[in-house]
Structure 1
Amino acid sequence: MPSPFPGMNPYLELPALWHEFHNRLIVAISDALTPYLQPKYYVAVETRTYLDDDNPELLVGIPDAIVLTASPTLVAQPTTTATQTRPKQIQLPLPIEVKERYLEVREVGTHQVITVIEVLSPKNKRKGEGRSAYEKKRQRVLGSSSHLVEIDLLRENPPMPMIGVEDTGDYRIVVSRASHRPMADLYEFQMREPIPSFLLPLKPDDPELIVDLQTILLGVYDRGSYDFRINYHQPVPPPKSEVDQQWVDELLAPI
């Protein structure tokens, strides 16, 4: 069964599926672009690594005290009692090493980074080390001669900083051309809409490439067997409105 949603499938946003889907989508975008970029360009799959310590804090309680009768051989007064704590097994929040993949379109021969392609993850958007690390990387790219394509297929948490834009979409794609900064193209779309195709900027003398992200995503959905793995009877990650929830319920009613 193909994905029942016309665009982004919100069930793919579930934590149990997102990490694998993200990795598959990154590789699928690379595979889709490569035949049209050769022989002048190639697509490198890069990895960003950081420590994530934004897990909820664990409250460690005071261990229960027990009263022991003091041994006469160990204390001066046999009637004296002492308290001793009994240790509990607890779990402490530890930083977790997180690896995220992204793409770089590079020029053959010089290996110059022409365009950076990012597919945002929850940790990029959620407040904490992941978002801080990504925002620093984002600023470096925006201050360079490389173009940036930023794909946000997650509805939760605030979008990346944009000036003078009211956030009205569920999802967004930003295309920032180095020669046009600080202006950029914003493709904003809803859960009810197909994912729009966007233009991939390259070197000035080369025409921009049309990227059909919707077709790429549907291919990932099919190859990942998500039609068999997703239980469409479980609640979808919450839509923004009751109207959207009603639309989801009607869409999935026949399944």
Structure 2
Amino acid sequence: MKKLVLGMSALALSASMTMAMDVVRMGTEGAYPPWNFINDAGEVDGFERELGDELCKRAELTCEWVTNEWDSIIPNLVSGNYDTIIAGMSITDERDEVIDFTQNYTLPDPSAYLAMSMDVDVSSGVIAAQTGTIQAAFIAESGATLVEFATPEETIAAVRNGEADAVLADKSYLSPIAAEDGQLVMLEQSEMIGGGVGMGVRESDGELKAKFDAAIQSMKDDGSLNALITKWEIGETFE
């Protein structure tokens, strides 16, 4: 009887652990519309919220949303504060040395320059970018002077107050800002950097990565991913 009780206890523990593993904490920034942002109700919203909820449904996972500042978003994934990064993060070789990525759920989005004047020389000017982004790395290697800020809002403020000549960021992020602010203009020059955006997971979480890979592929196959990309005006759709 004692062995039976122990066996039943072990089965119960195993079941509870399996259930716990099915609760996936989705880490995002919540400050980069239309990719992810906090709405008026105080909830995570945007393209990646809608995408992430659908991916979790298809993968049969229960998901919870967690916000984290961008500059520590990878270290806090590795340390276990959440289980994925779904935050407009471009797939790069440098990041892939620390974490794993799913297949991309968007194609590379052109990076654009936003400035107060069309006369800005981005090759020799002072260019703002968010810390830890592919845009910051690009500027650092371009010969221009890089000024980095913790949040995307601060990069825009730097242009408005004259601290920077322009900001380089995803075109999908900058376009609505340019449309709403008549003092800011999008320069004609753009940059194609990065390898598309994917979900980040810990290197030890191969099973979780495989589940999200399958879910992303199913959305590509049935056209629902392209529909979301078009709805949120993120960039080019998959062929």
Highest CA radius of gyration, 1 or 2?
A: 1
TM-score, normalised to structure 1's length? 0.26
